[in-house]
């Protein structure tokens, strides 16, 4: 029975969806910010694979089909943006300024971290695309000579932390404007953070969705420039 399950093409997808649903249940049941469904599903999946001694290739053979949905899911974020298009036109300078600030802050912090910790060039460029969506981040890391698997892990961790910390940070720094919230979350923690922004409100979700696309494009250029600095 075990061999049948692990050799099934749907094994990886099944346990990923099952554990994500478990994460959703925990979040709805206890409502703590750290009970992020994605984080819970990652922890449970790793634990199950370790206990059952299932290698990553076997898991990914089925789980990869979920990743195919990442691009269309990201594109769907254009729908709330379209609904808030008039608001965007009235505030486009502030929005663009916020996204640029977020991208510059991200790559500068990585540069400072690399200098302090003595990263090699490959390690340094691995972290540069930490705040963009996975598809863009993987391409940047690969082209610049980084460690792509590590980049993926860093991007996921960044997104999960952004999702968990979004509301507390807004409260601490008294950020009440929905546009500012959305731009900050989207430019710092991509699609995973955007899911939190959409929970916070329609405007937050729309601005965060826009920030994913624009920040991704700007990060490509910023990463190339900053990769030549260190």
Give the span between the Cα atoms of 135 and 125, in whole angstroms: 16
- CA angle 32-33-39, nearest 5°? 105
Tell me which DSSP letter residue 8 carries.
Answer: S
Read off the pLDDT band of 5 (50, 70, 90).
low
**pLDDT tens string 122-157:** 999 999 999 998 889 999 999 999 999 899 999 999
* Confidence at residue 85, expressed as pLDDT on a 0 to 100 scale: 87
Which of 55-59, 102-106, 179-183, 197-201 shows the lowest mean pLDDT across its residues?
Answer: 55-59
Give the span between the Cα atoms of 91 and 195, in whole angstroms: 22
Two structure tokens written together for 118: 């003595």
In this prediction the pTM is 0.88
Read off the pLDDT band of 7 (50, 70, 90).
low
**pLDDT tens string 196-225:** 999 999 999 999 999 998 999 999 999 999
Two structure tokens written together for 1: 């029975």
């Amino acid at each position: 029975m075990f061999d049948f399950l692990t050799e099934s093409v749907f094994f990886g997808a099944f346990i990923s969806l099952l554990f994500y649903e478990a994460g959703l249940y925990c979040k709805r049941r206890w409502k703590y910010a750290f009970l992020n469904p994605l984080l819970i599903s990652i922890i449970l999946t790793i634990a199950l694979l370790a206990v059952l001694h299932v290698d990553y290739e076997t898991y990914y053979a089925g789980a990869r089909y979920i990743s195919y949905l990442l691009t269309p899911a990201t594109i769907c974020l254009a729908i709330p943006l379209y609904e808030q298009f008039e608001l965007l036109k009235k505030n486009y300078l502030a929005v663009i300024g916020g996204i640029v600030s977020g991208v510059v802050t991200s790559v500068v912090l990585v540069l400072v971290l690399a200098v302090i910790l003595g990263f090699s060039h490959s390690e340094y460029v691995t972290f540069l695309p930490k705040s963009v969506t996975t598809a863009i981040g993987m391409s940047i890391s690969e082209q610049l000579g980084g460690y792509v698997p590590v980049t993926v892990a860093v991007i996921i961790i960044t997104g999960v932390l952004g999702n968990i910390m979004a509301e507390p940070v807004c409260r601490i720094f008294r950020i009440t404007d929905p546009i500012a919230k959305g731009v900050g979350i989207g430019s710092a923690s991509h699609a995973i953070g955007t899911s939190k922004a959409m929970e916070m409100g329609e405007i937050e979700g729309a601005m965060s969705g826009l920030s994913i696309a624009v920040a991704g494009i700007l990060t490509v250029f910023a990463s190339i420039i900053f990769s030549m600095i260190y």
